[in-house]
Chain A
């Protein structure tokens, strides 16, 4: 178990800088999720912590020690890959034992540790099988088992659930969270899925084009996005962006007014909007409406509330406490 510190990390491929200076201090045992759209540099950042990519400038510290020049094996980390990266010709047992075997761990201890991890992951019955004889979820567990048996001080996850189907993803998400709580190992988890990020993270790093736009606890990021990008990326359906002049008290320089779909309510009077279509999702209903100025907005309603038909005109209202203003740079103002 250890803290992880990134100090001014940048990364260039040739002359192109893809990561422009990331600073973050991760506490011991914390679960950090790095989230962002594809190409934002989140995987590259994780791979630099792992030691699979060199750091162009800045410093990676694990447990207080600079590890920039250490091989992955000397960093006391374990990594779970997106496609699991299991050794296809080895049994589940050998897959999990391989790292320990290389480290020269005594056979009895290897057997003990693998058995322990297998129990934890409910893999006892599959130890003799080959990876190709397992389902996606089981392979995922083996990949985690391989990380657990080494008892590393940091877990690194690179989009570990993106190859699973939706249902299994929800289940494995829960298992990963429980496992991490139980083991208390500092974890860095990369994903492009903001729901995964919201549910797993103690704190999340929202990345955009090689920068950390915001670092904070999920609900804090949700409630107080610092940039327009974060506001639009976190939350599903995304935040509505209306022209700032729709509010009479907009601060100077404000260009956009952001408001979450659940904070828009239907009222007798207020901004007029035409319902374009409705999506009934069971527990809730989404109304997609067009304002008079052409802006498209989404309203989230309880399913039990009587909702208007498509083509009807409604009036929108919102509470002044729930709105956020952004300037032309996309920064909060």
Chain B
């Protein structure tokens, strides 16, 4: 009996330590975000004068209004809209294209099927940065600088997503496709009525990942948008840093940073349930 009590006690202590560890870790990760939030609620002199305040000030509405409406180069509200259009364009485009190409690769036998698959797979090995100069050249020749299409199209093909959907489609039993064929469904009908609803959780998981990928694009928008009205928010933060001797408007920059985090957080939270299901299991 004694040993048993001892074990329970020990487990109880272990429990506390585990939680303590988790809480400390959480504080470490959360601290910079908290600092950014505090900095976005105080005035410029308060930030510059040490020590830096650790509790929110009274400038919250003033700073955020200033950021949203006027910003530094362009209003943040406007930059957020640009980011949203770009992120959604990239996400939806990537999902549609990769679904269709995975469908073609898995369900149709055509000459060069393997070749096409490997060609798509090969592009995984070339990140945007490697092919950025030729891509810029092409986009510039098409006259797509400073445009949404210029922001979206070069990033829209996705080998990763194609590969993931291919793997998922290959786990769908062949008999399902055959049953649909006997039921009279043409290939696209099968795709639309059966494959697409079955991929729902995978699509949700990819949506979250790709939205954050699109939202966080930095180098590409920086290169092709010279017009401040086309700036996206992530690169816009960098553009707010002063060059030379100008004084940085830190409260507004910090407010912008906080604002920039909100849409990805909303996407993650709203799709959390589907997202996790998409990562851990699939309906079959």
Which of A's residues lie within 8 Å of B, judged by CB? Answer: 50, 52, 71-73, 77-79, 81-83, 85-89, 98-99, 102-103, 132, 146, 150
Contact = CB atoms under 8 A, between A and B. Distances in A.
A82 B175 contact: yes
Contact of A87 (B176, B178, B182, B184): B176
A150 B185 CA distance: 14
B182 A50 contact: yes
23 contacts: A72-B181, A72-B182, A73-B181, A77-B182, A79-B182, A83-B173, A83-B175, A85-B173, A87-B179, A88-B284, A89-B197, A89-B198, A89-B200, A89-B283, A98-B180, A98-B183, A98-B185, A98-B193, A99-B182, A99-B183, A102-B189, A146-B179, A150-B183
Interface in B56-88: none
Contacts of B185: 98, 102
B183 A102 contact: yes
A102 B184 CA distance: 6
A132 B179 CA distance: 17
Interface in B197-222: 197-198, 200
A288 to B, nearest CB: 40
A246 to B, nearest CB: 49
B173 A73 contact: no
Interface centre among B181, B197, B284 (most CB of A within 10 A): B181
Contacts of B200: 89
Given A85-B175, A87-B176, 4 more contacts: A72-B182, A83-B175, A102-B184, A150-B183
Interface string B256-284: 00000000000000000000000000011
Nearest to A150: B183
B179 A85 contact: yes
A98 B185 CA distance: 9
Given A89-B198, A98-B193, A73 B183 contact: yes
Interface string B101-144: 00000000000000000000000000000000000000000000
Interface of B: 173, 175-176, 178-185, 189, 193-194, 197-198, 200, 283-284
A81 B179 contact: yes
B266 to A, nearest CB: 27
A126 B110 CA distance: 41
A132 B284 CA distance: 9
B181 A52 contact: yes
Contacts of A146: 179, 183
B197 to A, nearest CB: 4
Nearest to A80: B179
A178 B103 CA distance: 41
A89 B283 CA distance: 8
A150 B183 CA distance: 9
Contacts of B179: 79, 81, 85-87, 146
Contacts of A89: 194, 197-198, 200, 283
Contact of B184 (A82, A83, A103, A132): A103
A82 B179 CA distance: 11
B282 to A, nearest CB: 10
B194 A99 contact: no
Contacts of A77: 182
Contacts of A87: 176, 179-180, 193-194
Contacts of A103: 184
A50 B185 CA distance: 15
Contacts of A78: 182
B241 to A, nearest CB: 50
Contacts of B182: 50, 52, 72-73, 77-79, 99
Nearest to A132: B283
A283 B182 CA distance: 44
Contact of A52 (B176, B178, B284): B178
A44 B176 CA distance: 17
Interface centre among B176, B180, B182, B197 (most CB of A within 10 A): B182
Nearest to B184: A73
Contacts of A99: 182-184
Contacts of B178: 50, 52, 72, 79, 81, 85
A73 B180 CA distance: 9
